[in-house]
Each structure stands twice: as C-alpha cells, then as structure tokens.
Homo-oligomer: A and B are copies of this chain.
C-alpha cells in the first residue's frame, strides 16, 4: 500500500484496527473526537464494536471490561477526560490487563484550552491514579510514528499485562501527514485463556479483580510490579538520538511535538556551527534515564537543555538523571502555544553563551 495522507486522529483509529483492535469505547472531546468519529464509521465495516460511552468514567470501565474479556481494545481522550479515567487506570493496572489508552493533551489545568500542551507528563508517567502503578507511556512525534506506536502498543500491553498510554497533542492529532501502514507489522494477540473471562469452558474459571483482603498478598503483588517495571526499563525503553554522534557540547531533551521544533532548531543551529544534538524519549516511562546519565558523564557534553510545553515536568527526570551536574536550561511555551523554531533557536544560542560553550564557529 502506498503512503496515504491522513489526519493524526484518524490514523490512530486506523492503526488500532490494523493492529487487530476491533473494539473502541470512547467519549467525545476536542481535539481528538475524530478518533471516535472515525471508529464509528470504520468499525462496523470490519465487524468491530464501537460504543459511545456516556462519559470517560464509563468509557474507561468499558475498556476494563472488554480487556478483561480478552480482546484488544482502545479508548482515546484528552486531558480532562483522562483525569476521569484515573480510577480505571489504577484498576486496569492492578488487575494486570492489557489496554491501550491515548491522551491527546490540551492546555490546562482545568477546562483550559484545546491547543497543544505537554502539561500531563506527570499524570502520564507518575501514575495519575491512586496506588503504585505505572503505565508504559509512548510519546510519538509524527503521525507515522503515532501509527507505529499504536500498533506496537497492543503487543506491549499484552507482554506486560499492563496498560499502555500514548500521549500526543492536538498538533499531531489534527495535522495530516503521509502514513505508511505497512511499515509496521502487527503482532497477533497472544492466547488469553489463562486469564480472560471468555467463559470457563474446559478450564478453571478466570477472575479479573484487584482486591486483596490479605495485605501480604497485596504487598507481594506490589513487589511483582516493581519487577515488571524493571523489566520494562531493561527491555522496552525507546528513544531517538539526533545529532549526538560527533561529540556535541549540548544535549537538548524534548519529546513529541516539541521535539520536532527542536529538530528544526538544531538543523539551523548546526548550519551556524553550533555543536548540539537531541535525546528524544519515545517511551516516557520507562524513561531513558541511563542514557542521559551516561551522556552527562561524557567529557564532551557540557550542557543540557529541556524544551517542554509545560511548566517543567520532564525536566525533573532529566535533572535527576544527570544528577544536576550542570544547570539545565529550560524553555517552555504553555497554555496551547507551540514554541516556534525561531524562539527555540534564540533560546539555545543564549544557552551556549550562558553556559560558556564554544557555540558558532567564529
């Protein structure tokens, strides 16, 4: 199949279907209602299930049910809607179910606005809901990568029996880019008979629940979770290194939409001789902690910068990773404003000065 031009939101829906996800439960919210609209058209065509839930609370519990019944299932929402899913996310993680959730983050807090933001980083990577659980969090930067991540999300969720959360923003959800669905191969769903509620024919009954009367068992489960998250860090931590090969002086850390702006900025700055590159986390949890620490320990790297569309959330993980070895430069736009390449370039140039780096060839 040739590349086709597709809106991010619709590509998310199509990617799920191609990944064998034939069930979608969701509640409309800008800027991603198009996912549900697309699913309401497409799923009946392929014999799938589309239900417009009465709320995000209900949608998240529907995917809890459907996932427990052993099928691939997805819901999508945007910031306030994701907050309403907090209880269910905790239940899904606690019941060890695979489910895929997409949060197209918008300006916040509160009702906020509908424009792009990265203000839900903490909520995504530090739990959001109650208790010690983590989602595996993917943060693609292009429509194509969103498609790939959605298609990978299902097998990942099944590998860990854990919810996988994808975060993006209205920029990616609303823009059209060429998409090549054939670039990613789908992994078929593993057998679910060991845990899913498919009817207890020819096997002992399966029970999906997350209540522990005996605190010792609850503790044991929490220790298992620790191991699970370690395994994620070891096996499924993804990031992209951009222009980090030639011993750059500065490493910029950015993800999602912001990373695209940074990419352009680096391209421009490199033309002027600035030696800098980018570490772009693709998984926000697990976070490329080790790689960042290693970079901070090289002789050539002398400065880090973080660009976010938030007050500074990921930067906490970056500062910890690099042990606050250098002050970390931070630039942000917020409330729905996407930083422009120009202002990022200006900021980074200034950082070169402030940190006393070589900068442009003189």
Contact = CB atoms under 8 A, between A and B. Distances in A.
Interface of A: 57, 79-80, 82-84, 86-87, 90-91, 93-95, 105, 107-113, 115, 117, 119-120, 122-123, 126-133, 209-213, 215-223, 225-226, 229, 310-313, 316, 319-320, 323-325, 333-337
Given A113-B213, A219-B337, 20 more contacts: A83-B129, A83-B130, A93-B109, A107-B131, A108-B132, A109-B132, A110-B210, A111-B209, A112-B212, A113-B212, A115-B215, A120-B130, A122-B126, A212-B335, A215-B336, A217-B335, A218-B336, A219-B334, A226-B312, A323-B324
Contacts of A215: 107, 113, 115, 335-337
Task: In the A-B complex, list the 10 residue pairs whose CB atoms are closest, starting with the nearest.
Answer: A108-B131, A94-B110, A110-B210, A218-B335, A109-B131, A215-B336, A219-B335, A79-B130, A320-B320, A122-B126
A123 B130 contact: yes
A87 B94 contact: no
Contacts of A123: 86, 126-130
B86 A337 contact: no
Q: Which of A82, A84, A334 has the most CB of B within 10 A?
A: A334
B126 A130 contact: no
A295 B225 CA distance: 32
Given A222-B311, A334-B219, A210 B109 contact: yes
A210 B129 contact: no
A94 B108 contact: yes
B210 A86 contact: no
Contact of A110 (B90, B111, B112): B90
Contacts of A111: 91, 94, 209-211
Contacts of A335: 212, 215-222
Contacts of A90: 80, 83, 108-110
A324 B132 CA distance: 22
A128 to B, nearest CB: 6
B119 A132 contact: yes
Contacts of A80: 87, 90, 130
Nearest to A319: B320
Contacts of A120: 130-131
A225 B108 CA distance: 11
Contacts of A108: 90, 94, 130-133
Contact of A84 (B86, B127, B216, B225): B86
A311 B126 CA distance: 12
B84 A87 contact: yes
A109 B229 CA distance: 14
Contact of A94 (B95, B109, B223): B109
A194 to B, nearest CB: 19
A331 to B, nearest CB: 13
Contacts of A310: 132
Given A323-B324, A336-B215, A110 B91 contact: yes
A320 B324 contact: yes
